[in-house]
Amino acid sequence: MKKSNFILAILLIIAGLVPNDILAQTLKRPVIAVLHVDVQGLYDAPEQAGNMLRLELEKLETMEVIDKYDVFYLLKEKQIEVKGCYGKQCLVEAGKAIKAEKMLMGSVEKYGNSILITLRLFDVEKASMEKSLVREYLYLPEQVQLMLRLAVRELFGLKNEDFIVQQLTKKNTQETFLNNPAFSQVKRLRSDGPRMGLTLFTGEIATRLQEQVISGGFDVIPMMFQFGYQFEKQYLNEGKFQGLFEFIPMVTGMDQSLFLPSFSILHGIRNNKNGWEFAFGPTFKAISQAEGYFDNGIWKLKNDLTSPEQVTIKRLDSRGQHELRTGFVIACGKTFRSGKMNIPLNAYFVPRKDGMQFGLSFGFNAKNE
């Protein structure tokens, strides 16, 4: 005999030994009914809140919940007014009229900056309250049904997930779609796209840029136009904030017949809602430098060295070779929205001992995720 057939045979034998009335009584679920839920200070109507409570009660599948249409039909026949029926005497009378064994009453009330949910379970035959529950939640009207679900489960001895309970009861918990309705609605703001703007050099660098070419200068104004493109990679997006890396190749000085390429890698944080961001990271530039020395305040190249004991240094020089020079960028900015268009505006500076570099750039795109 197969194992499944053997188990079935055992069950049939047991069922035959147990009297039918005892078996039926064991399998019978208590009949329960829900009328309206008393709602104060919230937008939900008592009928709507009552439907929510009834639905959460049905999800437990531990009791036979009387259909709302049957409830209201029978009460109308008995001329019992459902509206305002929240007290024990009214509920017991209504329960007897619709032949319910138990009546569940609920109230949802705005209490300061909280939502107070009260549940009371009445035994119709004994005309007494069997159990009650009062719970205080954060003021999140959009989560009233979830609050009712937690309260109903707790009333009937079922365990709720601690994470969900904390999200709806503790103020300083991590922001999620449960305690911040706008959490899932905030789209990731993207600011990648073309960049253009002005950069200004100060200090010794500015002086060197303005010097004549014959002495190794560049004979240019230390304020130059620059353009490039920003690529960005998001690695974190939680609620209103995102963490990202920004990769920005730029070319500076073409308005003054110079070609100064640079590449910056920034690590930043951005607010998806208002567009503010802050970022920092290294920058790499190709600039002309030459090795030389100062002779009575006059800059001379190493090739002109007359004394082997003369100390030489590397300096910005238009006669030299292009070399890689590193720096550190600190930037902040804000992205403005106009319809589907994003217009990022950023300011930055690069600190150096021989002079600061400041810059202002803007761009545009039409990207949102």
Inform me whether the pLDDT recorded for 73 exceeds 70. Answer: yes
CA dihedral 295, 204, 280, 338 (to 10 degrees): -150
Tell which wins on pLDDT, 187 or 304.
304
Contact residues for 231 (Cβ-Cβ < 8 A; gap 6+)? 192, 246, 247, 248
Summarised one tens digit per residue, pLDDT across range 113-123 is 899 999 999 99
Does the domain made of 15-174 have the CATH classification 2.130.10.10?
no
Summarised one tens digit per residue, pLDDT across range 349-359 is 999 998 999 99
Summarised one tens digit per residue, pLDDT across range 29-45 is 899 999 999 999 887 78
Summarised one tens digit per residue, pLDDT across range 284-318 is 999 999 988 888 878 888 887 777 777 888 889 99
Indicate the pTM of the whole model: 0.53
In this prediction, residue 10 carries a pLDDT of: 56
In this prediction, residue 166 carries a pLDDT of: 87
Least confident of 127-136, 173-182, 184-193: 173-182
Inform me whether the pLDDT recorded for 11 exceeds 60. Answer: no
- Segment 54-69 shows an average pLDDT of 93
Question: Distance between CA 175 and CA 163 in Å, rounded?
Answer: 12
Question: Distance between CA 144 and CA 135 in Å, rounded?
Answer: 12
What is the token pair recorded at 5?
Answer: 């057939």
Summarised one tens digit per residue, pLDDT across range 318-345 is 998 889 999 999 999 999 988 778 899 9
Inform me whether the pLDDT recorded for 1 exceeds 60. Answer: no
CATH number of 188-363: 2.40.160
Number of C-beta neighbours around residue 7 at 10 A:
10
Contact residues for 80 (Cβ-Cβ < 8 A; gap 6+)? 90, 93, 94, 97
In this prediction, residue 82 carries a pLDDT of: 87
* DSSP β-bridge partners for residue 137: 115
Summarised one tens digit per residue, pLDDT across range 194-231 is 999 999 999 999 999 999 998 899 999 999 999 999 99
Q: Where are the domains of the chain?
A: 15-174, 188-363
Question: Distance between CA 362 and CA 336 in Å, rounded?
Answer: 10
In this prediction, residue 343 carries a pLDDT of: 92
Question: Distance between CA 363 and CA 359 in Å, rounded?
Answer: 14
